[in-house]
Structure 1
Amino acid sequence: MPQPFDRLLTATTTLDTPFALVDAPALWANADDLVRRAGGVKVRVASKSVRVRSILEQTLARDGFAGIMSYSLAESNWLVDQGIDDILLAYPTTSRQALKDLVADERRRAAITVMVDSVESLDHIDSLIGPNHPEIRVCIDVDCSLKLGPIHLGVRRSPVHTPRQARKLAAAIEQRPGFDLVGVMFYDAQIAGLPDSSKAVRLVKKRSVAELLARRGKVVAAVAEHAALEIVNAGGHRQPRGHRRRPRHHRAHRRLRAVLAGAVRRLRRFRVTPRRILRALRGPQAATRHRDPVRRRIHRVGTDQQEPPTAADLARGSHRSRHRGRRRGAEPAQGQGRPPAVDRRPRRDAVRQGR
């Protein structure tokens, strides 16, 4: 057993289970590495992955970390009461009591940013606490999934996907009393939540990174036309293997204010096969490369083969050999065999005569 585990086992020999164990040197080494890889962008800690308040507080006290992404609005209210003053709620909320507790406390309203993804989210909040509530800070959740024709790769977090949709929602929030748009949230689950387990996954990540780098900057610019953004948060974004460009070197990433740190989650399997993914990523030419109808071997079907099979044919399976080739172990009927192949490519002499 490696030495670090021996040390941890020795330290907990006299303790009764159950108990929680944290390897502090490894924890802070990982934290420092996250800050280094963020390249100057602040790291927001996901509280649903780190469930110990003292660790949250000690992490936020380190350089390079700023704010918490919470799991629920009730948890957000509690964290503010514990002294944390920068909290981004990860998901839209439907909790009536938590919303009432939020608007009842000025300190909570100043520290908590609620996630929304549509005008319906605003309508729902108004229906729970009334339209005349104090101003609530909100952030737009943007869908970061990769769309390749009919294929959808990633999680369906939000109906907002394009810069046009983001601009439309931002304009609606700007005109809506009781709400203050302060942020934009991106979470690219198909990049951060999948291990590099196959060539298809690596291609998905590489294509998704390139698409998201171009789209994210446009979305932020579109939303910034209607709001002074304080939060531009990217999810657990990480570059796939072989992608050497660092985030801070891209103009879209210069708009980022924070990235997310927490546990890496695996997505459910895609409902498409790896072969279908590869075809979509390589373009339409790869999907039709070997579909030249001129080079297919087309079999002539006689008039006798177009007649319905008899009972004797069904018994010995010869009707299958007429259309699909002889079955293994089945003899063809007398006079029946595999039809000759017909080459439909024009002969050279026929072409010359036509000229």
Structure 2
Amino acid sequence: MNFANIPPFFSPVIWLDMNALDHNIAIVNQKTQSKKLRIASKSVRSIEVLKYIADKTPNFIGIMSYDALESQFLLENGFDDVLCAYPQMNELAIKACEETVQKLLPDGKDIKMTWMIDNLEHWQLLEKIGKELNQSIRICIDVNMSSKFPAVYFGTQRSSINNHKQLKKLLKQHKRTKPTSSYTKVVGLMGYEAQIAGLAESAIGKEALAPVIRLLKTRSKSHVSKRRKNCVQVLNKSLAKSLQPSLEIVNGGGSGSMDWTCASEEVTEITVGSAYYLPAYFSYMDTMQAFQPAMGFVLPVTRKPFKDTVTCQSGGFIASGSMGKDKQPIIHYPKNLQTLSDEGFGEVQTPIKLDKASQLNIGDNVWFRHAKAGELCEHFNEIHTFRDGKETDTFLTYRGQGKCFH
């Protein structure tokens, strides 16, 4: 998008370059065509954008959500296959979502709502809810795909199941404690290789680690492949003993591992989210170089305290995760600008240092990119869309629809 030719407009706002979004969708479709695709809602956070991407994705299977009430919201807005990827312990929220499933079923819709577990407490809660509602609850078991190297834990600390033996132990625990008639049904396994799919090799301030990260990723792939295959075999064997069909879902991958995950024979579906917006952090990932920045935010220049400094209204949109320069927004346009090291992105204003060639005046706009996808939408009600350099439409964010699922 040619930012220089865009006429002045009201800001602060989120911008979404539809040309870049279409470009990114096309690349995702090409890379993932051998698998079913699930969109990660946390990386999008807009019903209208989720539907736009889904309509352009031939292998779209459903949504990966992050919260029980968000899952209900997605079902109410027409999505019929939702996998809540994080264990939920809010009994009332789970019940509300499952009651929505019951309401939609009489309409002739085939609704699939699946819940993530990784220990007996999660499983027993879903059994209890299923019994109270007199319906079968769909379950997916999350297996930790992190790699443990000497002196290095490479990955995320999430599921308590780290191998196929621990998975067997969970299955035995449930078998001993479940009632005569089970109200849950295991339909899936998730083996998300976060350390491969979501870790940038050349993040700002961490460039020296790039060779080490590349080496660890390569070695981790063999661990992930073996562990995921073993766990799939264990679950399918257990299901066969109970005269149940094989796993419907074997979910893996993410935006940064599309090629490798889609070549993994045990995987049936891949989840993609950040690739659509290409936030700043993902620009420093080796596998994301063909993608284009599609989303960011615009701040207006409202002050000029010095000849070489301007101050923008708003700011402070720092990404989640361990703190560092790689979690700060970056200035996308004009080029060769930088924030002040002692102020950074402020709470309600952001000062910017100009170089000798830059000319910014009060009323001008500065275009930024957030470090992560989705999180930016928590700060704005609307997304302003652009095509061929012209503003075309506005989409509501979750926040714009009065929703916040944190």
Question: Normalising by structure 2, what TM-score?
Answer: 0.57
Aligned to 1:335: none
Q: For residues 6-61 of structure 1, what are the alpha-carbon distances to aligned partners after superposition, in whole Å with 9 as ceiling and x for unaligned?
A: 35x33xx3x42243321111101101101212241122111111011111112112
Give the letter aligned to residue 196 of structure 1. Answer: E
CA distance in 2, matches of 1:44, 1:239: 14
Aligned to 2:249: 231
Aligned to 1:258: 269
Q: Does residue 77 of structure 2 align to residue 79 of structure 1?
A: no
Aligned to 1:220: 232
* Structure showing greater relative contact order (alpha-carbon pairs closer than 8 Å, 6 or more residues apart): 2
Change (3 A) 1:259 1:247: closer
Pick from 2, 5, 24: which aligns with 1:4?
2
Give the letter aligned to residue 14 of structure 2. Answer: A
Matches for 1:104-183 after TM superposition, within 5 Å: 104-105=99-100, 106=102, 107=104, 110-125=111-126, 129=129, 131-133=131-133, 134-149=135-150, 151-170=152-171, 172=173, 176=178, 177-183=182-188
Secondary structure of the structure 1 residue equivalent to 2:238: coil
CA contact (8 A) 2:145 2:227 kept: no
Q: For residues 63-89 of structure 1, what are the alpha-carbon distances to aligned partners after superposition, in whole Å with 9 as ceiling and x for unaligned?
A: 132211111010101111111001110
Q: For residues 309-355 of structure 1, what are the alpha-carbon distances to aligned partners after superposition, in whole Å with 9 as ceiling and x for unaligned?
A: xxxxxxxxxxxxxxxxxxxxxxxxxxxxxxxxxxxxxxxxxxxxxxx
Aligned to 1:305: none
Following superposition, the deviation at residue 171 of structure 1 comes to: 5.1
Change (3 A) 1:37 1:74: same
Change (3 A) 1:124 1:247: closer
Aligned to 2:191: 186
Pick from 79, 87, 110: which aligns with 1:92?
87
Q: Does residue 22 of structure 2 align to residue 21 of structure 1?
A: no
Q: CA RMSD in A?
A: 2.7
CA contact (8 A) 1:136 1:178 kept: yes
CA distance in 2, matches of 1:262, 1:246: 16
Pick from 20, 35, 43: which aligns with 2:29?
35
What stretches of structure 1 move > 3 A for 4+ residues in a row? 107-110, 124-127, 129-133, 170-176, 237-240, 245-249, 264-269
Secondary structure of the structure 1 residue equivalent to 2:42: coil
In proportion to residue count, which structure has more helix? 1
CA contact (8 A) 1:44 1:261 kept: yes
Secondary structure of the structure 2 residue equivalent to 1:158: coil
CA distance in 2, matches of 1:99, 1:29: 37
CA distance in 1, matches of 2:260, 2:194: 19
CA distance in 2, matches of 1:37, 1:248: 8
Matches for 1:272-287 after TM superposition, within 5 Å: none
Task: State which structure, 1 or 2, has the greater radius of gyration over its C-alpha atoms.
Answer: 1
Change (3 A) 1:139 1:239: closer
CA contact (8 A) 2:36 2:61 kept: yes
Give the letter aligned to residue 259 of structure 1. Answer: I
Which residues of structure 1 form unaligned runs of 5+? Answer: 270-355
CA distance in 1, matches of 2:255, 2:218: 12
Change (3 A) 1:146 1:97: same
Give the letter aligned to residue 31 of structure 1. Answer: I
Question: Normalising by structure 1, what TM-score?
Answer: 0.65
Following superposition, the deviation at residue 130 of structure 1 comes to: 7.8
Change (3 A) 1:21 1:216: same
Following superposition, the deviation at residue 220 of structure 1 comes to: 1.0
Q: Report % sequence identity.
A: 31
Change (3 A) 1:248 1:81: closer
Size of the alignment, in residue pairs? 255
Matches for 1:277-316 after TM superposition, within 5 Å: none
Which residues of structure 2 form unaligned runs of 5+? Answer: 203-209, 240-245, 275-281, 283-318, 324-406
